[in-house]
Amino acid sequence: MGTAVKIRTAPVRFKSNITRALYVMAAALGQKDSYTHAHAQRVAAYCRRIGLRAGLTGADLLNVTWGGMLHDVGKLGLSDRIFSNKQALLSQEMTGEVQAHPIIGAEMLRHIQCSKTISAAVLFHHERLDGSGYPFGLAGEEIPLGARIVSVADCFDAITTDRPYQRRKTLPHALMILKEMAGVSLAADLVALMLEEIESNGMEPVMPAANAMIPFLKSR
Ligand SMILES: [Fe+2]
């Protein structure tokens, strides 16, 4: 007989089916790629911290936190060669594939009719203030607030953590890079809030505790 596989039942209870579906999507990405899952949890935490400093409360704060958690969920649709890639420079073809992930993610979310704030954060998190981002090249306040918050959190976490093709920067170096991006590719007011927040409360742990974000992701 083969070894019995133990299936852990989910200990997390959500009030709504939509929230449960969002959680399953986040967990599915975690099964695909552990770095992306830890990154998603840290980005969600940073989004919440920036959101609090920006004065967001209630559903607005909840949705921007979910936007951080699910921003890369479209990577579920990418081929395995993208996840196993260790090169900093991708081929044109692979770059095209990676850059489709915001649209894939928004399309996945369309089926569960979640908040527009969440799907906009997923769809627009690689847009840049100066119009240099993708997939649409939106600029300034054409980019919804939730997506602008996710962009700041995503960039900061990408700079401060190790990836197969890139060593993390020290915190002072990372803060300098973020300041250089402020007002150019990232919203200056949100970068200022992020800098204040990091100075006051520090960085998120590299390996977040399992389900650490759950209390902040539950709808009331
Ligand atoms: Fe992304």
**pTM of the predicted protein model:** 0.92
CA dist., res. 96 & res. 102, Å (int): 12
Bond into 164 cis (ω within 30):
no
Residue 168 inside a domain? The answer is: yes
Residue 185 inside a domain? The answer is: yes
DSSP state of 71: T
Q: Which of 77, 115, 128, 112 is nearest to 98 (CA)?
A: 77
Residue 215 inside a domain? The answer is: no
DSSP state of 164: T
* 219 Cα–ligand 1 center, Å: 24
Which pLDDT band holds residue 4 (cuts at 50, 70, 90)? low
Q: Do residues 64 and 146 make contact, with C-beta atoms less than 8 angstroms apart?
A: yes
Q: Do residues 86 and 111 make contact, with C-beta atoms less than 8 angstroms apart?
A: no
pLDDT of residue 199: 96
* 218 Cα–ligand 1 center, Å: 23
Token look-up 């960085």 returns: 203
In terms of residue numbers, what domain contains 191?
A: 17-206
Model confidence pLDDT, tens digit, residues 168-207 = 999 999 999 999 999 999 999 999 999 999 999 999 999 9
User: What CATH number is attached to the domain comprising 122?
Assistant: 1.10.3210.10
CA dist., res. 191 & res. 185, Å (int): 10
* 3 Cα–ligand 1 center, Å: 38
Residue 107 inside a domain? The answer is: yes
Residue 162 inside a domain? The answer is: yes
- Phi and psi at residue 85, in whole multiples of 5°? -65, 135
Q: Which of 41-50, 83-92, 108-117, 129-138 has the lowest mean pLDDT?
A: 83-92
Q: How many domains does the chain have?
A: 1
Residue 218 inside a domain? The answer is: no
Helix, strand, or coil (residue 157): helix
The sign of the dihedral angle between the CA atoms of 43, 44, 47, 49 is negative
Q: Do residues 18 and 112 make contact, with C-beta atoms less than 8 angstroms apart?
A: yes
Indicate which residues carry an active-site annotation.
Answer: 75
Could you give the dihedral angle defined by the CA atoms of residues 179, 184, 188 and 190, in that order, rounded to the nearest 10 degrees? -90
E-assigned strands of 120-216?
none
* 1 Cα–ligand 1 center, Å: 43
Residue 154 inside a domain? The answer is: yes
Q: Is 219 exposed, middle or buried (0-12, 13-18, 19+ CB in 10 A)?
A: middle
Whole-angstrom Cα Rg for the chain = 17
Residue 55 inside a domain? The answer is: yes
* 4 Cα–ligand 1 center, Å: 37
Model confidence pLDDT, tens digit, residues 91-113 = 899 999 999 999 999 999 999 98
